[in-house]
Structure 1
Amino acid sequence: MLSALIRRNLVQLGNLVLLAWLVSVAVFLLLDLIPGDPVDSLVPPGSTEEVRAAAREAYGLNDPLLDRYLSWMGGILRGDFGESFASRTPVLEVIAERVPVSLELAVVSLLVALAVSIPVGVWSAYRQGGLFDRAATAVTSATLAVPSFVLGILLVYLFGVHLEVLPILGWVPFAEDPAQHILYLILPVVTLAAGECVLFTRLLRGDMVATLQQDHVLSARARGLPTWRILVRHSLRQSSFSLVTVSGVVMGRLIGGTVIVELIFSLPGMGSLVVNSILSRDFLVVQAIVLLSAVFYLLVNTGVDLAYPWLDPRVRKVGKA
């Protein structure tokens, strides 16, 4: 008989499959909800009705809705997202050229936000009410009041225009020049990570303050254990439960939220691609980006849910009960 914990994991995976299917249906219907005719992107302006009819037939736009969905979904399961209306190249190839930029930007921003917020949040909780805690609260409050796009513009002006110490527009692949690649990455990463640092720091500080008052932590202090061990081993892991949960949500949000940052810094990522595709009415590319982003978001959050028993032993105990 399967244990309760294994059954819980299977339910999570089942929910993932169901949600992914519902997302695919919603994304497919976007093509029919968008104003205008998709044929306008397939044929030159002023084309005759015969040319337009031939284009509709070639792309299956005359087929019933269910047949078009099954054909589209069958192609996706085979790795075929169709052909871009604008470039006449496979959609997956178009996206594959842009994914590394957005994915790197999101992952590095998340790691930077965690690397900054974890020590700040832990020490603020340990020195609750002290000078460091008050300073961290003031900085996070000020950062929270500045939208990311405003912060990006300020960073561009300060470091790119006024000080001229960092590049502000464009992108250099890591394989071409690692040093320049890092320089071009700094400002976009800081722009995205700043807001997440505020969220992570406040969340972790609140959880750590509560954890540090628990009996096992007070007992560790009474036994004279080193401060770093009390904070890291006895407090941080238990307090990171909410942090990991929010990190999964933030990762999905960063993937979808790089649009403005990519436009500000002229980065060749998914954000700029989806904007250009919308403007050129390249619907298949938009569909694929939305679908892949949503599935990635679901995968990350399902992974976080499956990691709960490892992070918090209480979940394992509930599963065994």
Structure 2
Amino acid sequence: MLDFLSRRLAAALVTLVLATVVVFAVVEVLPGDPALVMLGTDARPDTLAALRARYGFDQPLVVRYVQWIGGLLTFDLGSSHAYGTSVAKLIGDRLLVTLPLGALALSWAVLVAIPLGVFAAWKHGRPGDWGVMGFTQIGISVPNFWFGIVLVLLFAVTWQFFPAGGFPGWRQDPVKSLHSLVLPALSLSLGEIAILTRVTRSSMLDTLREDYVRTARAKGAPERTVLFRHALRNALVPVTTVAGLIAGFLIAGAVIIESVFRLPGIGQLVYDSINNRDLVVIKNVVVLFTILVLSVNLLVDVAYAVLDPRPRVAT
């Protein structure tokens, strides 16, 4: 088990290092003056020179890269020229919105998709299965931002059950803050629910054809026991892998959803930073996204090893 996890951790670290090199190259090495990009073509030469000196753009590439990596390791991410504050504080404040939003959306996806997938496999080839598959087709086809607008029109404008947007803050009102994340989480999770339902259904259909499932039924085991005790655990192996990938998609998808619902999260920070040409913030946020996705994938590998011990020996 430790050997299996150590190999996965080493692979994640190599991926992270390569990601930092790519991000650094895109932001600071490719043709173009980063200071000119940040301030625009109308900036005065002395202002450009001051910005280059402030962010170290006038230093050699290797020095700049090492300084940036050192800052990442010590949580000194520099300061934003658009917000006038430290990038670490900006990201920390925005994570308090994005992480609960992603966790809530992933919870919706898992709690809805797995029972739907099991039900569709149980009713394979019958109206119940067709209804679930029709729902998943709609979920895959409908953009989540459009679904979010529909939710706002129904539940915020027409029935006024939820706020249309905004975020009061966890310190000001935790209940209203959680309340304001319900509609964004629902809209963010729609496509992922559809994908995870299809994967669960397919995996359950394969598992239900196994000999041990037929044996359990032949011994008179109740259908609920066959489905949830015998078949579901083995069917969860590929479902867990896909759920880990979905967690990464949810983080990326938050960029659009947070803009629709005016949530002050990481997605909105990226959107504003692109408009403000705040390259320092963009560079560090991309690396943060990479770290979050790699961490989720590592947790998925651990769960995969617990559900199916064969990969510990085979890989």
The alpha carbon displacement at 1:173 in A equals 2.8
The answer on whether the counterparts of 1:43 and 1:55 sit within 8 Å (CA) in structure 2 is no
Contact 1:114 1:200 in 2 (8 A): yes
Would the aligned equivalents of 1:255 and 1:293 in 2 still touch at CA under 8 Å? yes
Q: Is 1:38 aligned with 2:55? A: no
Moved more, 301-310 or 269-278: 301-310
Q: How does 1:72-87 map to 2 (within 5 A)?
A: 72-87=68-83
Q: Cα distance 1:79–1:222, how it changes in 2: closer, same or farther (>3 A)?
A: same
Match of 2:200 among 175, 199, 204: 204
Which shows bigger deviation, 126-135 or 14-23? 126-135
Q: Do 2:113 and 2:193's aligned partners in 1 also have CA atoms closer than 8 Å?
A: yes
Tell me which amino acid in the other structure corresponds to 1:7. Answer: D
Structure 2: 5+ residue stretches without partners:
none
Q: Which residue of 2 aligns with 1:176?
A: 172
2:263 matched to 1:290?
Answer: no
3-state SS in 1 of match to 2:17: helix
- Establish whether residue 65 from structure 1 lines up as the match of residue 61 from structure 2: yes
How do 1:68-147 residues align onto structure 2 when only pairs under 5 Å count? 68-147=64-143
Q: 1:261 aligns with which of 250, 257, 263?
A: 257
User: What is residue 159 of structure 1 aligned with on the other side?
Assistant: 155
Q: Which residue of 2 aligns with 1:217?
A: 213
Give the deviation of 1:221 after TM superposition.
1.2
Structure-2-length-normalised TM-score: 0.92
Q: Which letter does structure 2 place at the counterpart of 1:222? A: A
Query: 2 CA distance for matches of 1:161 and 1:249?
Result: 34
Task: Output the amino acid matched with 1:183.
Answer: H
Cα distance in 2 for residues equivalent to 1:44 and 1:35: 11
Deviation, 1:76, is 1.2
Q: CA deviation at 1:123?
A: 1.6
How much does 1:295 deviate? 1.4
1:189 aligns with 2:185: yes
Structure 1 length-normalised TM? 0.91
State the SS of the aligned residue for 1:231.
helix
- Tell me the matched-pair count: 314
Aligned CA distance change for structure 1 residues 29 and 218 (closer, same or farther; 3 Å): same
CA distance in 1, matches of 2:56, 2:8: 36
SS at match of 1:257: helix
1:308 aligns with 2:301: no
For 2:92 and 2:49, locate their aligned partners in 1 and report how far apart those are by CA, in whole Å: 31
1:15 aligned residue (6, 11, 18): 11
Letter in 1 for 2:142: V
CA shift for structure 1 position 35: 5.0
Q: Which residue of 2 aligns with 1:277?
A: 273
The aligned amino acid for 1:114 is V
Which amino acid in the other structure matches residue 130 of structure 2?
R
Give yes or no for the alignment of 1:52 onto 2:85.
no
C-alpha spacing 1:223/1:57, structure 2 compared with 1 (3 Å):
same
Give the 3-state SS of the residue equivalent to 2:181 in structure 1.
helix
Kindly indicate whether the alpha-carbon contact (under 8 Å) linking 2:4 and 2:312 is maintained by their aligned counterparts in 1: no
**Hey, what's the Cα distance between the residues in 1 that align with 2:141 and 2:96?**
31
User: Unpaired runs of 5+ in structure 1?
Assistant: none
1:69 to 1:213, Cα distance in 2 relative to 1, 3 A: same
For residues 300 and 179 of structure 2, the distance between their equivalents in structure 1, rounded to whole angstroms, comes to 32
158-167 vs 201-210, greater mean Cα deviation:
158-167
Separation in structure 1 between the aligned mates of residue 32 and residue 167 of structure 2, nearest angstrom = 34
Moved more, 175-184 or 203-212: 175-184
**Using a 3 Å threshold, how does the CA distance of structure 1 residues 226 and 317 change in structure 2: closer, same or farther?**
farther
Describe the shift of the 1:117–1:44 C-alpha distance in structure 2 as closer, same or farther (beyond 3 A). Answer: same
Question: In structure 1, what is the Cα distance between the partners aligned to 2:176 and 2:192?
Answer: 25
Are the aligned partners of 1:140 and 1:198 in contact in 2 as well (CA < 8 Å)? yes
CA contact (8 A) 1:38 1:281 kept: no
